[in-house]
Amino acid sequence: MNLGPPPNGVNRIEPIPCGAMRLRCLVLALSISALLAGCSLVPSPAPTDTGPEDSGLESVGPEPTEVEFGKILGPWQPSPVGLGDPQIAVISDACAAAAREQLGEPEANLPTAVVDARGENVATAILADEERAIECRVRIDSGGTATVDGVARLAPSMVAPVAAAAISVSSLVQVPDREGDRMLLIGRVESSASSVKIAFDDGTRVVASIGNAWYTAWWPGHVRMRALGAVDAGNLTIASGEIPAGEVDARMGAASWWLDPRAPAPTPDSTSIGGFVREEGCASGRTPQGRLEGPLFDLTETDVTVTFGVRPLPGAQDCQANPAFPVTFNLPEPLAERILLDGNAVPPRDATKPPPG
């Protein structure tokens, strides 16, 4: 598998077609039972039961028990906590609400692909369909309330589905939200895999949460993994992953776009659109050349919402003004009498005018 740099950016962007109306669903994160006893990266006991729980984190249905809260809020463990539907619902609903406020309605309506919880009151959720995906980082308090620390679009080029007998790394990042930090891993795996395991130089292992051809896990500190593999129901390795040399981050930063005011206005027959994209994050005044993602499309009878994103530059960047970057892209169908909107804004704004600022 090749985990080299993303393809070089070009000014002409091919569209990602708009699919059918997305329906939100809740998917039970699969628990893992193949963990070897005693494998831990920190002094915490290995769990004795990672099966699904029946009670939830909120007042819907039975009240959660002390044991269940102990698993979610207690010490980190190398295998995922078994989550019941009510618990997944609390996390997914919090992520959807944050996505609706910060990213927009299409992201809020994404189905839940996988949820990972393994102690220290933190959880990771991936909401995704065939076209787009978001990462959501959540904290759960002792009362069962889920608070979103961050929600972000994931770059389509970084989270593409993998072929048979394959596993990929989309994100491997250091997260400074606990004492000593932690490493967060997110990736794609072939749909027939029943488990994803991460091995370290000291012989310990971490088992990822897996669902809908996605996997995710986290572990304390800055320890780098030595091996990554997917196994089938018989615990036989079916895919081995290439380990990145450094950090890899699939999250996208925001990018506004608008029509080129010097070009003729689009007509009802137009499919080719020319405009400008401006990265909203700090980029030391550089263009998004080679880092531009999208466009993503949402089509209705009255408008066409077009959304771009930019993979951020590594390391600290100066926050000087970013230049406008020219792009030409193709709509999935003629514009007709619809208006063009910039999906970077919530709600989407009129793309015939440059964004403020």
* Cα–Cα distance for residue pair 301/337, rounded to 1 Å: 9
Amino acid code (one letter) for 148: V
For the segment 325-342, the average pLDDT, to the nearest whole number, is 97
pLDDT (tens digit, 9 = 90+) per residue, 163-189?
A: 999 999 999 999 999 999 999 999 999
Radius of gyration of the chain (CA): 21
Helix H or strand E encompassing 328: strand 325-330
pLDDT (tens digit, 9 = 90+) per residue, 7-61?
A: 333 344 344 333 333 333 333 233 323 322 222 223 233 333 333 332 222 222 3
| SS3 category, 88 | helix
pLDDT at 29: 31
* Among 9-18, 153-162, 325-334, the least confident range: 9-18
Indicate the average pLDDT of the chain.
83
Contact (Cβ atoms closer than 8 angstroms) between residue 40 and residue 78? yes
Contact (Cβ atoms closer than 8 angstroms) between residue 112 and residue 61? no
pLDDT at 142: 87
- Of the chain, the percentage scoring pLDDT greater than 90 comes to 71
Burial of 289: CB neighbours in 10 Å, binned 0-12, 13-18, 19+: exposed
Q: Is the pLDDT of residue 206 over 90?
A: yes
Q: Is the pLDDT of residue 197 over 80?
A: yes
* Cα–Cα distance for residue pair 187/95, rounded to 1 Å: 19
pLDDT (tens digit, 9 = 90+) per residue, 108-149?
A: 999 999 999 999 999 999 999 999 999 999 999 988 899 999
φ, ψ of residue 210 to 5 degrees: the values are -140, 140
Give residue 96's pLDDT band: very low, low, confident or very high (50, 70, 90).
very high
Cβ neighbours of residue 246 under 8 Å, at least 6 residues apart? Answer: none
Give residue 329's pLDDT band: very low, low, confident or very high (50, 70, 90).
very high
Cβ neighbours of residue 339 under 8 Å, at least 6 residues apart? Answer: 302, 303, 304, 350, 352
Amino acid code (one letter) for 104: G
For the segment 327-350, the average pLDDT, to the nearest whole number, is 97
Q: Structural domain boundaries of the chain?
A: 22-240, 253-350
pLDDT (tens digit, 9 = 90+) per residue, 269-319?
A: 999 999 999 999 898 888 999 999 999 999 999 999 999 999 988 878 888
* Cα–Cα distance for residue pair 241/229, rounded to 1 Å: 6
Sign of the dihedral through C-alpha 29, 150, 99, 58: positive
pLDDT at 44: 32
Who has greater pLDDT, 143 or 214?
214
Contact (Cβ atoms closer than 8 angstroms) between residue 89 and residue 17? no
pLDDT at 88: 93
Distance in angstroms between the alpha carbons of the first and the last residue of the chain: 42
Rounded to 5°, the CA angle 237-32-64 comes to 170
